[in-house]
Amino acid sequence: MTDIEKNSGAARIEINGEPRHVAPGATLADVLKLIGAPKSGFAVEKNGDIVPKSRHASEEIREGDRLEIVTFVGGG
């Protein structure tokens, strides 16, 4: 995260309700790599819409985007 945050043109976004900064022009795949998301077993919503895995590499992240990243936890 540090090198991107140093970038003055960083885009402010929100991931699971927490503020984050990413490089301008970053894709969703870049962001997922950056935050250490697992390779499978998770889903991503951008601004309320699910982004399918096939689009992670092409989906551009912009200033103000809200990402929700969910996974499976213990439950009944």
**Residues that bind another protein in the complex, under the rule CB under 8 A:** 15-18, 35-38, 40-45, 50, 52-53, 68-76
Q: How far apart are CB 6 and another protein at their closest, in Å? A: 19
Cβ nearer to another protein, comparing 10 with 34: 34
Q: How far apart are CB 63 and another protein at their closest, in Å? A: 20
d(CA 28, CA 31): 5
Q: How far apart are CB 31 and another protein at their closest, in Å? A: 11
d(CA 44, CA 68): 6
| Contact (Cβ atoms closer than 8 angstroms) between residue 43 and residue 74 | no
Q: Which helix (H) or strand (E) holds 31?
A: helix 28-34
